[in-house]
Amino acid sequence: MKYKRSIALLCIVIIIVLFTGCSRTDYAENQAYAVILGIDIDEEDNIIITAKYPKLSGSSGGASGGGSNDSSAYSTTGASGDSFQQALNNLRVITPREINLSALTLIIISEKAVDSGRLYHILEQLSANYRMYSSAYIAICEGEAGKFIEKQEPQIGSRLSEGLKALIENAERLGSIPDSRMADVSYGLDSFYSDPIIMLCSLKEDSKSGNIAPPSDNIATDGDTLYYGSCIIKDGRIAVKFDEHETVIANMLKGDVQQFSYTNENDSAFISVDSKPSIKLDIKNDIPVIKIKLNLSVMVTSGTADANTFGKMIKSDAVSVINECRSTGAEPFGFADRAAGRFASLEKWESYDWHTQFKQSEFDIEVSVTEIF
């Protein structure tokens, strides 16, 4: 009896497994797994989407992880349309295989597309796509996203996706770019709290920050492409741009960086953030007061400045970064999350108008420094 039951159960399991063949099967050969997606906007306000995906014939190619930097291992296809969805549909038509967004690593949106005020619309339509991987990194390109994607090549011995992840994670660890994921940005654009912050990128030849050659230590570079700094999005448009140095300070204020190297002219030091910044808000008065306390350990690596001087320099940088944000009302530091807790309902929170209050707020930054050797 026991055996009969086991055999019956085994038969059922086998039949269930066989059922999987009854539906449409997505073979890997039928799919074009987009690794990078670029979004541009042309003169006529059409959206252009460019996708980079591995070729099937990519020899032992970067696509299969076999260890080639052969650029022919990847195809780049572009299409345009009135709306994002229209452009994506056109891209699907001209791509020989089915565009699959489940392995997407990076989304590059051109600065022009963001400035057109269509960022939220683009991300909303993108997230509505079937099998969209919403943890993909997102970056704003100071130039054409399509061109940038064409220049983005795999490194020797790694797949393009893995190479990109390694590069971005390393830059994030150093604090020179923020952790900007598609879902975070998309939620942040529409949330009741702080504004989202997105990493910047550009081609070396397009970089507006001058000819960055050779790139500084804090700039993540991958051949012809650069990943550096950040921008804050307010009301769907770029409000503030930070270079890599300001981004490190902004990340420190957000509590997103643990260690970073700090350079000022001939002085340089290795900074370790001992604890997350202690932030206290006083919103009882007409003008909100934000008190920030930073605990840092400083290891001087070169120059004549001592640890306390570095503390003062970091404080001055933090004030400058906050003031830059305050001038536009954009607030990426997470102060809004804290302030919202003082209100009982959303109605009261919205009527408080955080962004206006933030513009006229007062700051008190205290930096506590411990010298390490």
- The β-bridge relationship of strands 259-264 and 225-234 is unpaired
Q: Site for other proteins (CB under 8 A): which residue of 127, 209, 216, 297?
A: 127
Stretch that binds other proteins, among 111-119, 266-274, 345-353, 355-363 (CB under 8 A): 345-353
For 189, other C-beta atoms within 10 Å of its C-beta total 18
Q: Site for other proteins (CB under 8 A): which residue of 211, 304, 345, 351?
A: 345
- Which residue is it, tokens 């205290």? 366
Between 175 and 188, name the residue whose CB sits nearer to other proteins. 188
338 binds other proteins (CB under 8 A): yes
**How many chain residues are in contact with other proteins, going by CB under 8 A?**
31
Letters for 277-296 (x = contact with other proteins by CB under 8 A, - = none) are: --------------------
CB of 319 to other proteins, least distance (A): 24
CB of 347 to other proteins, least distance (A): 6
Is the distance from CB of 348 to CB of 263 less than 8 angstroms? no
- Identity of the residue numbered 108: I
CB of 338 to other proteins, least distance (A): 6
Between 135 and 327, name the residue whose CB sits nearer to other proteins. 135
Q: Which two tokens stand for residue 216?
A: 């500084």
344 binds other proteins (CB under 8 A): yes
Between 179 and 324, name the residue whose CB sits nearer to other proteins. 179
Is the distance from CB of 107 to CB of 182 less than 8 angstroms? yes
Backbone angles phi, psi at 353, to 5 degrees: 55, 75
- The β-bridge relationship of strands 237-242 and 225-234 is antiparallel
- Which residue is it, tokens 């022919």? 72
Between 59 and 259, name the residue whose CB sits nearer to other proteins. 259
Letters for 157-186 (x = contact with other proteins by CB under 8 A, - = none) are: ------------------------xxxx-x
Q: Site for other proteins (CB under 8 A): which residue of 98, 190, 205, 217?
A: 190
Q: Site for other proteins (CB under 8 A): which residue of 43, 45, 286, 347?
A: 347
List the one residue out of 82, 34, 187 whose CA is nearest residue 124.
Answer: 187
- CB within 8 A of 132, min separation 6: which ones? 101, 102, 104, 126
Instruction: Please compute Rg for the chain using Cα positions.
Output: 24
- CB within 8 A of 87, min separation 6: which ones? 46, 47, 48, 49, 79, 80, 81
CB of 44 to other proteins, least distance (A): 28
Work out the angle at residue 13's Cα, subtended by the Cα atoms of residues 12 and 19, and round it to the nearest 5 degrees.
90
363 binds other proteins (CB under 8 A): no
Letters for 20-59 (x = contact with other proteins by CB under 8 A, - = none) are: ---xx-----------------------------------
- Identity of the residue numbered 303: G
Between 188 and 229, name the residue whose CB sits nearer to other proteins. 188
- Identity of the residue numbered 72: S
Q: Which residues bind other proteins (CB under 8 A)?
A: 23-24, 127-128, 130-131, 134-135, 181-184, 186-188, 190-193, 334, 337-338, 340-341, 343-349
